[in-house]
Structure 1
Amino acid sequence: MKVMARSALVSVWVFLAVFVLAACEDDSSQSRENDAKQKSYDLLVRNQPAGRMAYSPTREAINEWVRTWGKRGKLSYVYIQNANGEYGYFVMKGLPVPRCKMLTPTERVDSSSNGKVVVSQPGMDGTYDSGSTCSAYYGFDATTGAYMEFTVGTNQSFFLFDQPMTMPEYADATQLGPTSAEDVAG
């Protein structure tokens, strides 16, 4: 009886040792891969360090965007191209806004017994968003203030300008909203 109990106990210890070693092997192989990636990165940084810029065209473009659109009453000219290559346009107050933009946070972080969890928040209208409204844009007509909404996607694109376009592809654009480019020219 003692021999059988001892044999069973040894079997359990052998099983546990194999299980622990296998777990260590998995951790150490992942650790080796992470170490290899880090060493490769460190070598690349040594051989090809990041350059330093004295001037950033990206920062300048962002600042120019702020100067352009940071003015109350600024008009936008939204040209929409359909699948047939035909253009139409809206003249809007300010920029078109994606419907998925919110003035309040869309999520909050709560603590739970499982740690931190992200909880969805309702939008300004008291409803929850599925995130699928980012291809829908809205804004207001430049002279009437009429609400306008349009969707872009598979076969429709829009081009945004801060002034009416005179290039040939826009010359025959159909007026889609109450205001024409001629109504606000000057």
Structure 2
Amino acid sequence: MRRLTRILTALAATAVLGFTAAACTDDSSQAQESRTKQSGYDRLVKRQPAEVMKYSPTRETINKWVDTWEKPGKLSYVYLQNANGEYGYFVLKGLPVSYCAMLTPPEETEGSSGGGLVTKTAPSMDGVYYSGGQCNAYYGIDATTGAYMEFTIGSNQSFFLYDRPMSLPEFRDATPLGQTRLEDGEITR
């Protein structure tokens, strides 16, 4: 009887292992598609490995941005085009800043009573919460008066940012939108 019990136990264990192994093997069409996709990717990577760049124009442009804008008091020239194709401009001390830019993290993580971590929206510098939907609103400081100013870019509007006045024909007759004026590429009051 003991021997029969051992045999039945062994058969039951083998059956359980077999069913478990079968349950772990996913032969669904989705799994097959995933394996085929990975196989194709692996084959292409082997035949066409990614090249390693010796020079990065992207890094050069980022470094140029840093070199250009890290100077205190650097002026920016913001040209706006409205839906009618008309141009205006601002001259700002420093870069225009999007309302989406922050000096503090937009979220904070803290422990929960259950021991896990909870991420929640953090208040902004002014002690209020923002939705993040104000990314088309910008602010800056007028170059000659130091006045704070804001502008919004909406549909059918574009803005162009330069580190010097532009003499392009479309900008030549641009209307000053702030206190600072340009005449022949020079700032006037």
TM range, smaller chain = 0.7 to 0.9
Deviation of residue 153 (structure 1)? 2.3
Identify which range, 129-138 or 28-37, moves more after superposition: 28-37
Secondary structure in 2 aligned to 1:110? strand
Identity of aligned residues (%): 62
User: Following TM superposition, by how much is the alpha carbon of 1:34 offset from its aligned partner in structure 2, in angstroms?
Assistant: 3.3
Provide the TM-score with structure 1 as the length reference.
0.80
With over 3 angstroms needed to count, the CA separation of the structure-2 counterparts of 1:103 and 1:53, relative to structure 1, is same
Which residue does the alignment assign to 2:147? 146
The CA RMSD measured in Å over matched residues stands at 2.5
Q: Compared with structure 1, are the counterparts of its residues 43 and 177 closer, same or farther at alpha carbon in structure 2 (3 Å cutoff)? A: same
- Which residue of structure 2 lines up, in the alignment, with residue 131 of structure 1? 132
Amino acid at match of 2:41: Y
Match of 1:96 in 2: 96
Match of 1:184 among 171, 182, 187: 187
C-alpha separation between the residues in 2 aligned to 1:124 and 1:26?
53
> Which aligned pairs between 1:159-178 and structure 2 lie closer than 5 A?
159-178=160-179
Cα deviation, 1:8-30, whole Å, max 9, x if unaligned, reads xxxxxxxxxxxx99xx4895535
Count residues in correspondence. Answer: 166
Aligned residue in 2 for 1:80: 80
Question: How far is the alpha carbon of 1:42 from its aligned partner?
Answer: 1.4
Q: Which has the higher helix share?
A: 1
The alpha carbon displacement at 1:40 in A equals 2.2
The 5-angstrom pairing of residues 47-62 of structure 1 reads 47-62=47-62
- 1:36 Cα deviation after fit: 2.9
AA aligned opposite 2:127: G
Determine the C-alpha separation between the residues in 1 that align with 2:181 and 2:25.
67
Q: Deviation per CA, 1:43-81: give whole Å up to 9, x if none.
A: 221121111111111110000111001100100000000
Q: 1:115-138, CA deviations, whole angstroms, 9 ceiling, x for partnerless residues?
A: 433211010011111010101000
Q: Which residue of 1 aligns with 2:14?
A: none
For 1:108 and 1:31, the matched residues in 2 are separated by 38
Change (3 A) 1:48 1:117: farther
Give the partner amino acid of 1:133.
Q
Q: Deviations over 1:87-111 (max 9, x none)?
A: 0000000000001111001112234
Gaps of 5+ in 2: 1-18
Secondary structure at the counterpart of residue 77 of structure 2: strand
Counterparts in 2 of 1:116 and 1:32: CA distance versus 1, 3 Å: farther
CA distance in structure 2 between the aligned counterparts of 1:62 and 1:25, rounded to whole angstroms = 49
Structure 1, unmatched stretches of 5+, are 1-19
1:155-181 CA distance string (max 9 Å, x none): 111000011110101011000000012
The residue type paired with residue 51 of structure 1 is E
Letter matched to residue 76 of structure 2: S
Instruction: Name the CA distance, whole Å, in 1 between partners of 2:129 and 2:178.
Output: 30
Q: What amino acid sits opposite 1:143 in the alignment?
A: T
Which AA in structure 1 matches 2:123? P
TM-score (norm. length: structure 2): 0.79
Aligned equivalent of 1:65: 65
